[in-house]
Amino acid sequence: MACLRRRKHCVQPQQRVSIPVLIVLANQVPHRCFLSQPIMIFRFFCPFFILFFTPIASVQAFTGTYGINYGRIANNIPSPDEVVTLLRAAKIRNVRIYDADHSVLKAFSGTGLDIVVGLPNGQLQDMSSNADHALNWVKENVQSFLPDTRIRGIAVGNEVLGGGDYSLWGVLLGAVKNIYNATKKLNLDQLVQISTANSFAVFVDSYPPSSCKFSDSVNQYMKPLLEFFQQIGSPFCLNAYPFLAYASDPEHIDINYALFQPTKGIYDPMYRLHYDNMLDAQIDAAYAALENAGFNKMEVIVTETGWASNGDESEAGANETNARTYNYNLRKRLAKKKGTPHRPKNVVKAYIFALFNENSKPGHLSERNYGLFKADGSISYDIGFHGLNAGDSSLLSLKNINTQGLSRSYTMVFSLSSMILLIFWIVAMALAHGTEGEEHVVGGGAGWIISPAGASFYSSFAANNTFRLNDTLVFNFKTGAHNVVTLSKKDFETCNVNDIMESFNTGPARITLNRSGDFYFACAFPSHCILGQKLRVHVTASLAPAEAPSPAVSRHSRATTVTLPLVLIAAAINVLHIGAEKEPSNRGNLVHKTNI
């Protein structure tokens, strides 16, 4: 059985991508939030309603477990702005692209989406031989878009080792080092992760998983690369395709095993483990190769995986049914947030390939049919996502509810209910005012680092911000490279980090300023405090005197905020009662039409 034995990757290098996302469609508010002419006035409140349901982003390298590759080798796909809308509607936050296209990076500005940009293979030689060019590339394509565009990684090349262009094998490490050194020089190394994606062509003997190792031809280039990645805390990135493995040997591979369907699976006698799906086995094969090379603690992240919905006659299994089954089951598997049989504590994270069908890709027909979405933004098949068009939703769109038979009274009740939720949110915000704090990211986009500017870097940060009771400080740093400790004033001034009050060793660290007065923070790693990695903040009262409401105003506000929602609830019940009396015959139509 050769279910994992793919000696070469069956796709062209530099043809794949990924990214992440969140939320609702603000630019479509006027015609989607509310429905009929009698309630046009409520449309004014729709942006606030959306704000209520919008999650707040947090800074992480990979949020959750699900991401997507946004490839653009096509001439008919939606614009980057439309892609942002699509990703937010699908609540996909993690995204990878294969270049650093400025129109994409501008479109992602302020969206909260985390993006990994790519340095194409064609630029590796230049970046490896010229550190200044690498520095300029990072300045132009990464630093200039931070912090508004959340660039969280740079993928240096794609499927270089094991690929057909042998001239790139020897320059990959140099390019990786120069790009990393550029981020370090620009104080971005704690924020932007450096990596490169590998195909299964770098392995030999991948069945069973425990026997996998790097091929001899690749090993001389792979080992120093992994040593550097281990030094800077980068993962091993793997492009894993059960589809390609199955298509190469359909007679000996159970398709249910490749599709996460019920099957007897395989047994690895060395690990004494059972595998019920091929993706887990492929990931553990990569872990086995890393362990064999001496890198037992390196994490594996799947940077590409997917299934083609169409293909050449020679590409077994390339059809819409299998593509839907694989991607639907993969989404469920990732949602469980669990590891593999061999590494149960390492939660599997994967970027799906791909966002769109790309009509300009060369190669097999399958290469143009990996997309979860078609070029017009509609879904390729249903795995729970909604396309740009309302008709793609498996749920009734609000816009069409009236045409489906809803009476005006029910429409009014729906709208009033929405307004009630909005009012309750306003009440909550009003009651929380003065107790809910603001968030301050220490060091801004640079994070918690040793700054070339020394201690003045953080003293300037403190001077330019106002800190109030219950505000939160966010210290972004790489675990193992820095930490955060709280000190007394005396120890802070002398950088004595031996008598700490509290320690935070995992980044990012979030610290609530729960009292007024002075707080003293530093990094306890050797010499870091002396080199200026220290911060003093002064916390004032939660509200400035001019902002504090008088007791009379406060009592009146509380009475109003409690009474108004009750009035609206009563109005909604009254409308429902009137509608039930006047239009009893519409109930049958409503039930019938919503069940279609």
Mean pLDDT score, 278-283: 98
Residue 50 predicted with pLDDT over 80: no
Quick one: pLDDT at residue 424?
59
The residue ranking higher by pLDDT, 273 or 590, is: 273
| Residue 299 near residue 236 (C-beta atoms within 8 A) | yes
Residue 586 binned pLDDT confidence (cut-offs 50, 70, 90): very low
Residue type, 241: Y
Residue 126 phi, psi dihedral angles, 5° rounding: -65, -45
| CB-side neighbour CA atoms (13 Å) of 44 | 4
pLDDT digits (tens, 9 = 90+) for 196-244: 999 999 999 999 999 999 999 999 999 999 999 999 999 999 999 999 9
Quick one: pLDDT at residue 416?
57
- As annotated, the residues of the chain forming the CATH 2.60.40.420 domain(s) are 439-540
- As annotated, the residues of the chain forming the CATH 3.20.20.80 domain(s) are 66-373
| Residue 61 near residue 152 (C-beta atoms within 8 A) | yes
Mean pLDDT score, 308-315: 96
H or E, element range at 184:
helix 172-185
pLDDT digits (tens, 9 = 90+) for 470-480: 899 999 998 88
159 has catalytic annotation: yes
Residue 547 binned pLDDT confidence (cut-offs 50, 70, 90): very low
Residue 390 predicted with pLDDT over 80: no
The residue ranking higher by pLDDT, 225 or 578, is: 225
Quick one: pLDDT at residue 445?
81
What's the CA gap between 576 and 413, in Å, rounded?
6
Buried b (16+ CB within 10 A) or exposed e, 194-215: bbbbbbbbbbbbbbbbbbbbbb
140 has catalytic annotation: no
Average pLDDT over the chain, rounded to whole? Answer: 80
Quick one: pLDDT at residue 587?
30
Residue 373 predicted with pLDDT over 50: yes
In CATH terms, is domain 66-373 a member of 3.30.70.2190?
A: no
The residue ranking higher by pLDDT, 556 or 129, is: 129
Give the fold, CATH level 3, of 439-540: Immunoglobulin-like (2.60.40)
Averaging pLDDT over each range in 117-131, 430-444, 572-586, which range is the top one?
Answer: 117-131
Quick one: pLDDT at residue 480?
87
CA distances from 324 to 319, 361, 548 (A): 9, 21, 57
Residue 16 predicted with pLDDT over 50: no
Among residues 291, 299, 304, 583, the one annotated as catalytic is: 304
Residue 573 predicted with pLDDT over 60: no
Quick one: pLDDT at residue 160?
98
Residue 400 binned pLDDT confidence (cut-offs 50, 70, 90): very low
Q: Give strand pairing partners of 503.
A: 485
Residue 355 predicted with pLDDT over 70: yes
In this structure, the strands spanning 502-504 and 484-486 are: antiparallel
Tell me the angle at which helices 216-232 and 172-185 cross, rounded to the nearest 10 degrees: 10
Give the lowest-confidence range in 322-336, 347-361, 396-410: 396-410
Quick one: pLDDT at residue 575?
45
Residue 269 binned pLDDT confidence (cut-offs 50, 70, 90): very high
Structure tokens at 340: 């593999």
- Quick one: which of 149, 16, 23 has its CA closest to 86? 23
Quick one: pLDDT at residue 589?
32
Distance, CA of 146 to chain centre: 16
Residue type, 174: G
Structure tokens at 285: 């094969």
What's the CA gap between 69 and 11, in Å, rounded?
15
Tell me the angle at which helices 408-432 and 551-582 cross, rounded to the nearest 10 degrees: 160
The residue ranking higher by pLDDT, 527 or 80, is: 80
Residues of the chain with pLDDT > 70, as a percent, come to 72
Quick one: pLDDT at residue 31?
37
> Counting Cβ atoms within 10 Å, is residue 329 exposed (0-12), middle (13-18) or buried (19+)?
middle
Among residues 159, 315, 358, 367, the one annotated as catalytic is: 159
Residues in the chain: 596
What's the CA gap between 596 and 591, in Å, rounded?
9
Quick one: pLDDT at residue 63?
74
